[in-house]
A and B are shown apart, each in its own frame.
Chain A
Amino acid sequence: MRPTPRFERREPVDQVDLLSVQIADASHESVIIYDADARIIHWNYASQRLYGRSNVEVRGKHPDEVFGADTIGPDWTELKTGGSWQGIAQRAGFGNVSVLAEIRLRALRDEEGKITRIVEHGLPADARIVEGHAPGIQKDWIAVWSIDTSGAAAILEHIGRIRDQGLTHLTAIGPEVVAEHLRISDMNVAAVRLFAGGASVTSLVGKSAYRYWPQKHRAKLLDLTIRVLQASESETPFVTAAVGDDVLSVWRGKPDHPHLISTSVTGSWNGPDRYWDLAASEQRYRNLINNVPLPIWQVDARVMSDVIQRLKAAGITSIESHLREEPDLVRFASEAVVVTDVNDSAMRLFRGKLRDDFLKNVTYLFSGTPEAAMRVVKAHFDGGRNYSEEMKIRTFDGDLRDVLFYVTFPQVPEKLDKTLIMMIDVTDQRRVEQQLRKIEADFAHAARVSALGELVTSIAHEVRQPLSVIVTDADTGLRWLGRDEPNVTKVKAIIARIAENAHRANEVIRRIKEMAVKTDPMRSIVDVNDLIREALLFVKSESQTHNIAINTRLVVGLPEIFGDRVQLQQVIINLLINSIHAISGNQRPNRLISIETSLGTKADVIFSVRDTGGGIPSDDIDRIFDGFFSSKPDGMGMGLAICRSIIIDHGGTITARNDGGHGAIFEVTLPLPNGLHDTPDDPDPRSMAGR
């Protein structure tokens, strides 16, 4: 409490000019004009209303006489030296009622620097905020938060109970959670301007007060708040602490509203720059976030640093195994980590209208891909600077969209309240890619189908022509025979033509068969190992597409054989493709094809293709080499039939069997050129022996 200096009373009091009086009286603020000796020379209507005394009563008096000597008022010494003073004054009004006023005093000087007048402007301090408690020490500014603590009090109680039971649980709630439940119910102008970037008070109501406290005082204010909350509800505690130049106070105003507490921070004008700077920098940061055309969330993930520290302190090194034991941790993390800011792009991405719908825990970010939350926790635990993945989000109108999710983890745990999450909407790209893939697949299919279709069309045309002749001729023949005088000559000619066209149709069919297996092979000396290596090049992309490994075990020094290079490669490729289709069609976990060569005992070369495609159904194994037999819905059933024709044409054999339950084995033998071209006496009845 600062002593009010004593002034000698002098008569008469200065007169104030009429204009000043009129201006003062028009003001809704209390305006008190003092002379150089701090005697009241004018006192406007607002002052009358505020303090309950009339101009006539107070004129010529010192403030001490009007407001009481032991009340709290401006520091006159500082005013005279510094020229101004601002703060809260607690004064005695009419009937000794305590009046709280936020006042600003300014000293007016003449040319010589001598004080001529002192002008005081005052407004009633908000009773809801100060509840009769003076903040005590007067500083240049006072920021006041009125806080609804009902949620926090419940949590404190809960913590108390847990402690009483001696339980320590991972998800035990720390002070951070208490902090999240301190909801702003009001803030004064100074607090809003300094710490809330000048937002409107209504938009701040209900938000976390903790987040709008000055950063460097948050821990202390929280500490003081918890102390006040722990006091019995009937008490009206007032705790205060000085941190550096600033004074922090927390108090409960009235026992009838035990959940309503107030906190204040007072500071001097000597150093508010750092707060202004901070506010300005926060404002710049917020502008930046808002203007970036990328959906951005700022989340407060400080609670996670605590959780992670606790886990590491408990000796946990692998979060995966721990999460299996503590599945609630991820849920807790998603619920405890809250979004504190969000930009317009993010709101557009989620198709939300109200910013408040976004300023809640981060669960909604993961509703499209809940397991991603676990991966984020894991990445955080593993100490990564950032984490990204492609995931799906569910927008507020229920749409699923593909996004690239990107989160940065500030390396300083205290900065985790500024954890940034970004998303890039890639739905359209993915859709296009998917379409492209589908078109690609369709094309490949269409190419095969159209090759088949063309074949069928040409077969149809070729066969239909003679058939048309036969059908028409048969009808004409019947017509001639049906006449009263049958024209036998005509009928003979017609029947001859029918026979001719029947042969013609047969010829067409023979030609098609020839087309399938060339009858004029180009035989030369070939190395089967080379053929296999070349064939592998053809199927490489197909096997990679289906994620299938192909092992080769090719015997060194394998004798060369005499054969048609292209035809034999056709056989190898056909067998490999069949194996690839068998494996990809069965979705086997073990995806392997082995191709081997060896020297047979009967002067022949053997190669085998073994796959893990599940094998051939026993009902089918005898028929697979038949023409037009296919297990594939779009298969022509010509592949293995042609393979067999080619191998038989080379004097070899081709056999199929199952490899236990794993897959199929196709084995091909090809005779050596100087070897026996006799019919090999193969004991396997299923083998397609050479002719």
Chain B
Amino acid sequence: MADLDTTPNPTVSQRQIVHIVEDDEQFRLSLLDLFESLDIEAEGFEDANTFFSNASKYNAGCVLLDVHLPGLNGFDFQKELEGAGFDLPIVFMTAHGDVATSVNAMKAGAVDFLEKPLGTYELVDAINAAFALDFGQQKQRAGRIAVQARAASLTRRETQVLGLVVRGLMNKQIAFELGISEIMVKLHRGSGMRKMQAASLAELVRQYELLK
């Protein structure tokens, strides 16, 4: 999570982009045209490498992925995507959909599995679902980043005290644990809560959950 400290924009991105990864140039262009006509922002990549070297990690949206990519198949791509820190939902496309591949794709967390030739309505539905999922994930991620920023502003003592608070210890116990007076515990606790913008113990605990 350390690299997240460099996050330029820790808020929910409004620009959601369809990242098309499709080796067939004609179809890639065809899809780009279709999304343009639908007023959906889209970007085309001819293979996995092009995607990883050109796509921004902080882009929101989804990936529209051909299962049968030369060099790297769609499922390996999916794993690599996670490994590289991308957090984008995936919609698969295939020219020969069989039950086994589609089951594998869905199990691996695909939003949808579309068979070529694509029906426009199905495609739009799948993209909308992927965007909705992405929006939720973005929000969660933004929330986490905000909490992390607040947590970073705590002093060492405040961090210690709040750590014990969320573990359910009472002030008296915390004082004993840290070898300081109960008054000091109350002070650190109060300033910590303020810095974390937590109005209640319950909210503090929820924030700490995000940090895990």
Contacts and interface: CB of A to CB of B under 8 A. Distances in A.
Contacts of B38: 479
A65 B68 CA distance: 122
B64 to A, nearest CB: 12
Contact of A468 (B36, B68, B118): B118
Interface string A447-480: 0000000000100110011111111110110011
Contact of A464 (B30, B31, B33, B116): B116
B30 A472 contact: yes
A497 B30 contact: yes
Nearest to A498: B30
Given A470-B117, A471-B117, 4 more contacts: A465-B95, A479-B34, A479-B37, A490-B33
12 contacts: A461-B68, A465-B24, A466-B26, A468-B30, A472-B34, A476-B30, A476-B37, A490-B36, A493-B33, A494-B33, A500-B26, A504-B26
Interface of B: 24, 26-27, 29-31, 33-34, 36-38, 68, 95-96, 116-118, 120
A472 B36 CA distance: 12
Contacts, number: 63
Given A461-B68, A494-B33, A501-B26, A472 B95 contact: no
Given A472-B34, A479-B37, A479-B38, A464 B26 contact: no
A464 B24 CA distance: 11
A464 to B, nearest CB: 4
A494 B116 CA distance: 18
What is the interface of chain B mostly: helix, strand, loop, or mixed?
A: helix
A464 B37 contact: no
Contacts of B34: 472-473, 475-476, 479
Contacts of A497: 26, 29-30
A504 B27 CA distance: 12
Given A480-B37, A497-B29, A472 B118 contact: yes
B37 A465 contact: no
A586 to B, nearest CB: 37
A467 B117 contact: yes
Interface of A: 457, 460-461, 464-473, 475-476, 479-480, 490, 493-494, 497, 500-501, 504
A259 B37 CA distance: 112
Nearest to A465: B24
A608 B34 CA distance: 60
B116 to A, nearest CB: 4
A469 B116 CA distance: 9
Nearest to A458: B96
A468 B117 contact: yes
Contacts of A494: 30, 33
A464 B117 contact: yes
A471 B114 CA distance: 14
B33 A469 contact: no
A621 to B, nearest CB: 37
B207 to A, nearest CB: 46
B95 A461 contact: yes
Nearest to B35: A476
A300 B38 CA distance: 96
Nearest to B33: A476
B90 to A, nearest CB: 18
A469 B118 contact: no
A465 B30 contact: no
Contact of A472 (B68, B96, B117): B117
Contacts of A504: 26
A460 B95 contact: yes
A469 B27 contact: yes
A-B pairs, top 5 by smallest CB distance, nearest first, are: A471-B117, A468-B117, A468-B116, A479-B37, A464-B95
Contact of B120 (A461, A467, A470, A472): A472
A35 B163 CA distance: 119
